[in-house]
Each structure stands twice: as C-alpha cells, then as structure tokens.
Structure 1
Amino acid sequence: MAQAVKFLSVKEVAVTMHVSVATIWRYAERGTLPEPVRIDGHTWWIEAEVLAVIEKKMAIRQTHVNASILPVPTSKTKNNRFRVHLDRSGLK
C-alpha cells in the first residue's frame, strides 16, 4: 500500500520552522524550500520535503560546529600578545 502524503499549509510550515509566514514565502521565492503544490487555488508543501530541508540544514550546521572544534591557529605579536586567526569562510 502506498504511503499517504501529508500536506502542510504555509502557516503550518511557518510553525514547523519557527519563522513567520512572510519568511516562508521568501524561502519559497529564493528556492530555500521545495516547490509547493498548488491545488485549486491553495498552496501546500509536502511535509517530508520540508523536514528534509530542515534535516539537511542541521547536518550542514553540525559539520560546521564539528569543524570549529579544531584548534585555532595563533601567532605572537611583537609585544608578546597572541593573535587568533578565525576562519569564517564556510559560515553563512
């Protein structure tokens, strides 16, 4: 038997992602969220696709968090103070 697909309204997606409805529309416009399904004048997102986006973002975040645990290169200045070099190239 086929798995039932659960649809979420824009309000439900906003609650799931803890953002405003306006932010959901911005995410949809820029492609952060998958393309919604439009049925008879109503817009719906497939719950599994929304959750997959959240899980992907969490996995990327976890990769950055793990990378930030690595030792930070330092150097001494002429007055014996340490300068810490932060690499923020992968953070957004």
Structure 2
Amino acid sequence: MDDDNFERLLKVGEVAKLLGVSVSTVWRHVANGSLPEPVRFGGITRWAQSELANCLDKMKAERPEVGTNPTPHPVRKTRVG
C-alpha cells in the first residue's frame, strides 16, 4: 500500500498539543463548532490534518487586521469581601 495516498490523521492529544490547549478544550471547540468534527471508525477518533489546517487558515483570515480596534472583551466584576 502506498502511504502517499493517505492523509495524516491526528489523535486528540496530538491536536491539543498542536494547538497548545488541553484535550477537554479541543472537545469544547468541536462542540461549539470552532473546530471540525473528527473522523470516527470503530473505536478510533482522529482529525484529518488538512481539515484542521483549513480551519485554522479560515480563522486567521477572519481575525481583525493589526492596528484595528477589535471588540473589547467584557470586564468581569469581582466581589469584595
């Protein structure tokens, strides 16, 4: 079999390491739609490397330009006492 015909498939831990987040964060991003669904077959769950790359490229293209004023994050109020 020719390995060049098959795309690299990543385990959840590899995806987490690639993104610099925890495994639970990977699953949270899948659940909210910001990361693609994995490929599942049998008891195996994997992400196609090209789908992750395409997703990240899309996110980079949609981010604000440098020097623009993006919407600020809300400030959390903390309780005193």
TM-score (norm. length: structure 2): 0.72
Q: What amino acid maps onto 2:13 in structure 1?
A: K
Q: Note the residue ranges of structure 1 that are not aligned, 5 or more in a row.
A: 69-85
Does 1 or 2 have the higher relative contact order (CA < 8 Å, sep 6+)?
2
Misfit runs of 4+, over 4 Å:
none
> Could you tell me which of 17, 21, 24 is aligned with 1:22?
24
| 1:67–1:42 Cα change, 3 Å | same
Count of aligned positions: 71
Query: Which residue number in structure 1 is paired with residue 40 of structure 2?
Result: 38
> Max radius of gyration: which structure?
1
Give the number of the structure whose residues are more often strand, by fraction: 1
Q: Are residues 1:4 and 2:43 paired? A: no
Matches for 1:1-92 after TM superposition, within 5 Å: 3-61=5-63, 64-66=64-66, 68=68, 88=71
Q: Note the residue ranges of structure 2 that are not aligned, 5 or more in a row.
A: 74-81
- CA RMSD of the aligned region, Å? 2.5
TM-score (norm. length: structure 1): 0.64
State the identity as a percent: 35
Find the residue that maps to 1:22 and give its secondary structure.
helix
